[in-house]
């Protein structure tokens, strides 16, 4: 009887201090749009991995550069071989925190915005990034969407002078994730 009570107390104690697992979406999307005088360029990656830890307020994103798809295969080839050098720099990542995390309530349904701050690594160059994230909360899902801009020069991405009018110096990036939540 004492062993049974001791076991129940240990289990209850362990459960009280167990941390929740981060929410993970392996099918997030990231897209970019480059508006330039000669032509607009769009691409989408539908295999972006995103994670959010609702106990610590941390976020992380990782994607393979080669997973971006373009309308024209030649654009995709130039993007991977000439500009992003995806063989040498296969991934882009973001690691950060949700500012003022402790004031947010992810248990209530509804929508709200929060600032995510961290570091973005693209093309082997890490730069600080801040972006407003819109969260839509339901009992079963947490949707996160953001839009931000990336300067290609900040990440040492060189554009030949011959095609400089074809590619914007600043590119708009959108990302979206649908995290599944445990039903309690």
Distance CA 19, CA 30 (A): 29
Q: What is the pTM of this model?
A: 0.84
Q: Which domains does the chain have, with CATH numbers?
A: 20-180 (2.40.128.110)
Residue 104: partners with Cβ closer than 8 Å, 6 or more residues away: 98, 112, 114, 135
Yes or no: say if 42 and 32 are a contact pair by the CB < 8 Å rule: yes
Q: For residue 116, what are the β-bridge partners?
A: 98, 131
Q: What's the pLDDT tens digit per position in 89-147?
A: 999 999 999 999 999 999 889 999 999 999 999 999 999 999 999 999 999 999 999 99
Does pLDDT of 76 surpass 60? Answer: yes
Cβ atoms < 10 Å from Cβ of 175: 22
Average pLDDT over residues 46-69: 97
Structure token digits, residue 167: 């590619």
Half-sphere exposure of 123 (CA within 13 A, CB side): 17
């Amino acid at each position: 009887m004492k062993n049974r009570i001791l076991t129940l107390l240990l289990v209850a104690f362990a459960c009280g201090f167990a941390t929740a697992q981060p929410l993970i979406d392996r099918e997030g999307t990231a897209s970019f749009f480059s508006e330039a005088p000669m032509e607009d360029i769009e691409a989408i990656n539908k295999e972006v991995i995103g994670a959010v830890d609702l106990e610590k307020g941390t976020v992380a994103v990782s994607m393979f550069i080669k997973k971006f798809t373009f309308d024209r295969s030649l654009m995709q080839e130039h993007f991977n071989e000439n500009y992003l050098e995806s063989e040498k720099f296969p991934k882009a990542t973001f690691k950060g925190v949700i500012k003022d995390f402790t004031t947010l309530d992810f248990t209530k349904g509804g929508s709200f915005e929060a600032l995510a701050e961290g570091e973005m690594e693209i093309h082997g160059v890490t730069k600080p990034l801040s972006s407003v994230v819109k969260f839509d909360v339901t009992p079963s899902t947490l949707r996160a969407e953001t839009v931000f801009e990336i300067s290609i020069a900040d990440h040492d991405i060189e554009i030949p002078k011959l095609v400089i009018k074809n590619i914007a110096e600043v590119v708009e990036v959108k990302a979206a994730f649908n995290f599944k939540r445990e039903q309690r």
